[in-house]
């Protein structure tokens, strides 16, 4: 099975290829889908998958993945603004905001939207995953994004290998739900 992963993020592609090794071939496709303000990230992802599938050539199914970090003590910030905040403040500044708080709990959430079938009227399915952890001073060279400041059981996601991260991460959990569904169609 061949699946097109619509993303410009090499880290996400590495994780998808590791997870789907032996299950599906993952082809990376770059396409800037519209991230409309919508009620839920499921809705944003579903629209993105539909738009990419309709706009790209070819009939191989496509999927998109959207994620975000929510810090408990900061009322869920940066949430839907996670990418913007990483680009503008940077993860060290996000860590320093959390460092001032007693409660350093945070959660990552991932939504995958998969579009297949008829490109003008596709079937769209969404899958989600989340992981709770603790924010820490940056450690580790692996992963991407907020990985150096997000610890799970004392280890940051940047200190984990790809397989190890997939086993516990928000995206790994969404991949698991997606793979389970794919195995039944």
Q: Please give the residue ranges that form the binding site for ligand IMP (CB under 6 A).
A: 9, 66-69, 82-83, 86, 143-147, 157, 169, 171
Q: How far is the CB of 114 from ligand IMP (least distance, A)?
A: 16
In the complex, minimum distance from the CB of residue 150 to ligand IMP, in angstroms, rounded to a whole number: 6
* Least separation in angstroms between CB 95 and ligand IMP: 13
Query: Would residue 66 show up in a list of annotated catalytic residues for this protein?
Result: yes
Give residue number: closest CB to ligand IMP: 145
158 HSE (CA, 13 A, CB side): 15
Looking at the Cβ atoms of 144 and 179, the one nearer to ligand IMP is 144
End-to-end CA distance of the chain: 12
Cβ-count burial of 183 within 10 angstroms (0-12 exposed, 13-18 middle, 19+ buried)? Answer: exposed
- Sequence-distant (≥ 6) Cβ neighbours of residue 162 within 8 angstroms: 14, 15, 18, 142
The catalytic residue among 59, 66, 121, 141 is: 66
Query: In the complex with ligand IMP, which residue's Cβ is closer, 43 or 119?
Result: 43
Compute and round to an integer the Cα radius of gyration of the chain. Answer: 16
Positions annotated as catalytic residues are 66
């Amino acid at each position: 099975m061949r699946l097109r992963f619509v993303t410009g993020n090499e880290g996400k592609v590495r994780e998808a290829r590791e997870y789907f090794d032996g299950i599906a071939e993952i082809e990376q496709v770059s396409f800037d889908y519209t991230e409309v303000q919508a009620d839920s990230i499921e809705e944003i992802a579903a629209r993105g998958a539909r738009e990419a599938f309709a706009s790209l050539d070819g009939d191989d199914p496509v999927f998109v993945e959207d994620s975000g970090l929510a810090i408990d003590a900061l009322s869920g910030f940066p949430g839907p603004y996670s990418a913007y905040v990483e680009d503008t403040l940077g993860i060290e500044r996000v860590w320093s905001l959390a460092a001032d708080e007693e409660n350093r709990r945070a959660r990552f959430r991932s939504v995958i939207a998969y579009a297949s079938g008829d490109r003008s009227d596709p079937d769209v399915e969404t899958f989600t995953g989340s992981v709770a952890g603790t924010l820490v001073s940056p450690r580790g060279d692996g992963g991407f994004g907020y990985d150096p400041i997000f610890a799970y059981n004392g280890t940051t996601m940047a200190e984990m290998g790809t397989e190890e991260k997939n086993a516990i991460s928000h995206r790994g959990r969404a991949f698991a739900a997606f793979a389970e569904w794919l195995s039944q169609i």
